[in-house]
């Protein structure tokens, strides 16, 4: 014989579902990534969390509203890899409260490139859907794990594919008019011409003033880009060539503004693969132009 659900209990469950849906729409989770806020890098990035969530939640056991209990749970691909300390909301009159969770999550070095790092804001308590106590997800934020960039500067040599540091000329850049060693291996082979257009690498040159002034050479294509060079030019100044190592898809190489390169921040241009030896998806994003004054 089936058991009937009383009207008060049914009404309570319906109100609970409506409140839950409303809270879902207004709840937000913020994930802050350091040191690169736009990039989650494997073995390097650190994540912190904050949220805007309801201050009070319905206690299904007592039928009364009480302080809410939240935590952040992180999955690395299919594996659970982090949980923050739970936070109980403070008393107050506002409906929602901003929560800053303590602790920092460091992206492990064994995460696969392309895996999803998903942080979920979870509320503790009795779940009407599962019929037991625990944590249920309110909202989540996912970011793609990427390989860290190769750093190229006067004090740190770029790494070649073999793992051996490629030589950088004295002063952190090639001598004027000289052909950088990396450029010799950048010639497009006959096989490169047979690579489908959509599967080619694509070098993109941009400039970023924060958090450190630097030029960025990204590979936004679908395959490894061969080693090439970066050419800085300014009227009345001898052009300067800097070697660019191989770059994996989705990764980048950064060139900090050193004293030798500072003069190229105004009235200048820079071009990656200036001799167009790399067979790319597009050749329209290889050049950067500076401002005319500071």
Q: Is residue 1 part of a domain?
A: no
Number of domains in the chain: 2
Cβ-count burial of 110 within 10 angstroms (0-12 exposed, 13-18 middle, 19+ buried)? exposed
- 45 neighbors 34 (Cβ within 8 angstroms): yes
Q: Could you write out the DSSP letters of every residue in 94-147?
A: SSEEEEE--S-EEPPTTSPTT-EEEEEEEEEEEETTTTEEEEEEEEEEEEEEEP
Domain boundary among 117, 146, 175: 146
For residue 57, the cross-strand partners are 66
Domain boundary among 105, 125, 146: 146
Q: Is residue 229 part of a domain?
A: yes
Is residue 161 located within the same domain as residue 136?
Answer: no
For residue 146, the cross-strand partners are 41
- CATH number of the domain at 174, please: 2.60.40.10
- How would you write the pLDDT of the chain (294 residues) with one tens digit per residue? 444 544 444 444 444 444 544 555 688 999 999 988 888 988 889 999 999 999 888 766 666 778 888 999 999 988 899 999 999 988 888 899 988 998 899 999 888 888 899 999 998 886 655 556 788 888 999 999 888 876 654 433 343 333 333 333 333 433 333 333 333 333 343 444 456 777 899 999 999 988 788 999 999 998 999 999 999 999 988 899 999 999 998 888 889 998 889 899 999 999 999 999 899 988 899 999 988 765
Is residue 120 located within the same domain as residue 170?
Answer: no
Structural Rg of the chain based on CA atoms: 27
**3-state class (DSSP) for residue 247:** strand
Is residue 98 located within the same domain as residue 156?
Answer: no
Spell out the residues 6+ positions from residue 279 whose beta carbon is closer than 8 angstroms to its own. 188, 192, 193, 195, 200, 201
How much is the pLDDT for 271? 95
Question: For residues 260 and 107, what is the distance between their CA atoms, to the nearest angstrom?
Answer: 35
Is residue 111 located within the same domain as residue 241?
Answer: no
Is residue 106 located within the same domain as residue 174?
Answer: no
Is residue 84 located within the same domain as residue 18?
Answer: yes
Q: Is residue 41 part of a domain?
A: yes
How much is the pLDDT for 207? 92
- What residue numbers bound the domain in which 167 lies? 150-289
Is residue 176 located within the same domain as residue 199?
Answer: yes
How much is the pLDDT for 140? 92
- CATH number of the domain at 142, please: 2.60.40.2550
Cβ-count burial of 286 within 10 angstroms (0-12 exposed, 13-18 middle, 19+ buried)? buried
Is residue 172 located within the same domain as residue 275?
Answer: yes
How much is the pLDDT for 130? 57
Question: For residues 7 and 136, what is the distance between their CA atoms, to the nearest angstrom?
Answer: 26
Q: Is residue 2 part of a domain?
A: no
Q: Is residue 103 part of a domain?
A: yes
Is residue 164 located within the same domain as residue 277?
Answer: yes
Is residue 17 located within the same domain as residue 131?
Answer: yes
Is residue 164 located within the same domain as residue 196?
Answer: yes
Q: Is residue 273 part of a domain?
A: yes
Domain boundary among 97, 119, 146: 146
Is residue 122 located within the same domain as residue 191?
Answer: no
Q: Is the dihedral of CA 36, 41, 46, 49 positive or negative?
A: positive
Q: Is residue 282 part of a domain?
A: yes
């Amino acid at each position: 014989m089936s058991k009937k659900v009383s009207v008060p209990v049914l009404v309570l469950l319906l109100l609970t579902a409506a409140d839950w849906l409303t809270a879902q729409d207004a709840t937000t989770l913020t994930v802050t990534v350091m040191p690169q806020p736009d990039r989650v890098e494997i073995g390097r990035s650190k994540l912190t969390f904050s949220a805007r969530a309801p201050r009070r939640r319905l206690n299904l056991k007592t039928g009364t509203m009480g302080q809410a209990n939240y935590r952040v749970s992180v999955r690395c691909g299919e594996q659970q890899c982090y949980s923050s300390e739970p936070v109980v909301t403070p008393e107050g009159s506002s409906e929602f409260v901003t929560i800053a969770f303590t602790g920092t999550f460091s992206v492990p070095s064994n995460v696969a490139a392309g895996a999803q790092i998903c942080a979920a804001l979870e509320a503790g308590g009795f779940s009407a859907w599962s019929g037991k106590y625990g944590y249920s997800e309110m909202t989540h934020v996912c970011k793609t794990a990427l390989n860290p960039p190769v750093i190229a500067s006067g004090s740190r040599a770029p790494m070649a594919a073999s793992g051996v540091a490629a030589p950088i000329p004295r002063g952190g850049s090639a001598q004027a008019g000289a052909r950088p060693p990396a450029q010799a291996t950048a010639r497009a082979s006959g096989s490169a011409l047979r690579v489908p257009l959509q599967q080619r690498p694509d070098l993109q040159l941009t400039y970023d003033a924060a958090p450190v002034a630097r030029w960025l050479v990204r590979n936004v294509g679908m395959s490894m880009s061969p080693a090439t060079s970066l050419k800085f030019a300014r009227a009345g100044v001898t052009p300067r060539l800097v070697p660019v190592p191989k770059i994996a898809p989705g990764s980048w190489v950064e060139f900090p503004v050193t004293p030798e390169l500072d003069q190229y921040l105004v009235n200048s241009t820079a071009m990656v693969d200036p001799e167009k030896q790399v067979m790319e998806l597009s050749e329209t994003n290889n050049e950067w132009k500076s401002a005319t004054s500071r």
